Amino acid sequence: MRSIAVIGLGTFGRTLALELTERGAQVIAIDINKEQIEAVKESVTYAVALNSMDRTALEGIAIKDVDLAVVCIGDDVEANLLTTLLLKKMGIKKIWARAINDLQREILRTMDIDEIVSIEEQMGKTIARGLISSNVTKFIPISEGHSIAEVKIPDKYFGKTLVQLNPRKNYNVNIVGIKRFIPDITEEGDRTFREEYNDVPSPTEKLQEGDVLLVAGSDGNIEKFAKD
């Protein structure tokens, strides 16, 4: 079981701490604000109010033993950078840190940490893609310029098989799954839909109205596939 320290419990940090706990991680939640700690202490492994720029305080909770530390501090750039630098000096195994502007990102790069998270930039790109292409319902970045996206199939694809569509040859993307909504009836007799997901779609699978494809590839190729 992975142990992860989440430092800074704003909206992003709090959500991250709770989701990691839900998925089985041992989470140490850290924030200087006691109210933020009170809000999560019953839901994570351990929650503590302390100044993350205080080495003695961090050593007191054995933070050196965690597998990963994620610095989620947003508005206070100085606290973000000093906390990250301190964690680096303490020899934390793996460090991720949030950056909210280009200068902060450049400074974090000089620290040679494992990952820089730019939530605002990623969300801006995701929203822009959704606005440009109404068929794209979700973008998940996996590397610079490459993503996995949920794409509602255009009308002209209805009834075609993946072989006929040939997305790898025609668009240089891969279909890695199909989400389908199956009509169903509840115990009360109400009409509803249940979601089925096929993560190993057959090449002869015929696409149906309402299908959502999980598409992997470069951002440009995914957008072209979604528009055509």
Listed residues 66, 90, 117: the one ending a domain? 117
How do residues 95-109 score in pLDDT, each as one tens digit? 999 998 889 989 999
Task: Look at the pTM and tell me if it is higher than 0.85.
Answer: no
In this predicted structure, the answer to whether residue 134 has a pLDDT above a threshold of 80 is no
Check if the beta carbon of residue 177 is closer than 8 Å to that of residue 214.
yes
In this predicted structure, the answer to whether residue 132 has a pLDDT above a threshold of 70 is no
Check if the beta carbon of residue 113 is closer than 8 Å to that of residue 84.
yes
Say yes or no: 9 and 74 in one domain.
yes
Residue-level pLDDT at 131: 62
Q: 26 pairs with which residues across the strands? A: 3
Instruction: Show the domain range for 197.
Output: 122-227
Tokens for 130, please give them: 């959704």
What is the pLDDT confidence band of residue 128, given thresholds at 50, 70 and 90?
low
What are the φ/ψ torsions at residue 96 (nearest 5 degrees)? -115, 145
How do residues 182-193 score in pLDDT, each as one tens digit? 877 777 777 777
Say yes or no: 17 and 50 in one domain.
yes
Look over the chain and give the mean of its residue pLDDT values, rounded to a whole number: 88
How do residues 28-61 score in pLDDT, each as one tens digit? 999 999 999 999 999 999 999 999 999 999 999 9
Least confident of 2-6, 51-55, 85-89, 177-181: 177-181
Say yes or no: 91 and 178 in one domain.
no
Say yes or no: 47 and 136 in one domain.
no
* CATH, residue 31: 3.40.50.720
